[in-house]
Amino acid sequence: MKKIFIYLMTFIMIGLSIKGFDRQTNKLKANNDDVTMRQIADFLTDKKEHYPLSDEFIEKYQQKSGGYIDFAKQQGLIVDKLRHEPNQKWHFFDSWLNESIEAGTLTWEDSAKSRVYTKLLCPELLLWIYEACGVDPVKVKQAKDVAEQGKVAGTATTTIAKNMRACVSWEDFNITI
């Protein structure tokens, strides 16, 4: 009976360490696939506005109009690719996240994996998110190179984003969230 109890307790402890256990709340941590929009927003709140690889990309390939560029102009913000403006932190929070929440097309409880990792298509924003989340710079550089190749070839943004995700997996950046 003692052996069964010891085996059972060992199995439970191993299971908890694999899944993750928060000792402060005495609850299992959420699976990394369950990161919410609130959690990723909270994580990104104190990140820098500019990172080197996303800024380099913006200098060459910032979109010329539409989306966040038109919104920035409507807001009276500077639009200047050489100054890396509008910055991608503003793009994430003010132009996309807050606007989507207000429009009801996104909720704080939505999956960040689905909405940020899978559905965002803007290469400059994806690069900023990768850098802000501390993804290995080698992988971010690979994603940037793929995005640049796609831009030069006139590839659709959906394909560019898909190719970038082939360089940077969800696990590569959600581990820090």
**Mean pLDDT in runs of 10 for the chain (177 residues)?**
47 42 38 82 97 97 92 94 96 96 96 96 97 96 98 97 97 78
| Statement to judge: residues 124 and 153 lie in one domain | yes
| Statement to judge: residues 76 and 124 lie in one domain | yes
CB 49 within 8 A of CB 89: yes
| Statement to judge: residues 18 and 36 lie in one domain | no
Domain count, the chain: 2
Give the predicted TM-score (pTM) of the model.
Answer: 0.81
Instruction: Please report the pLDDT score of residue 22 as a whole number.
Output: 41
CB atoms within 10 A of CB 29: 12
| Statement to judge: residues 129 and 147 lie in one domain | yes
| Statement to judge: residues 21 and 57 lie in one domain | no
116: closest CA among 48, 42, 37, 31? 37
Q: Where are the beta strands (DSSP E) in 4-161?
A: 21-22, 27-28
Instruction: Please report the pLDDT score of residue 33 as a whole number.
Output: 59
CB-based burial, 85-114: b 16+ in 10 Å, e otherwise:
bbbbbbbbebbbbeeeeeeeebeeebbbbe
| Statement to judge: residues 18 and 41 lie in one domain | no
CB 140 within 8 A of CB 53: yes
Instruction: Please report the pLDDT score of residue 12 as a whole number.
Output: 45
| Statement to judge: residues 23 and 87 lie in one domain | no
| Statement to judge: residues 43 and 26 lie in one domain | no
Instruction: Please report the pLDDT score of residue 34 as a whole number.
Output: 85
| Statement to judge: residues 115 and 144 lie in one domain | yes
Q: Which domain holds residue 144?
A: 32-174
Q: Which helix (H) or strand (E) holds 162?
A: helix 157-167
Instruction: Please report the pLDDT score of residue 175 as a whole number.
Output: 73
Instruction: Please report the pLDDT score of residue 81 as a whole number.
Output: 94
| Statement to judge: residues 119 and 166 lie in one domain | yes
| Statement to judge: residues 105 and 159 lie in one domain | yes
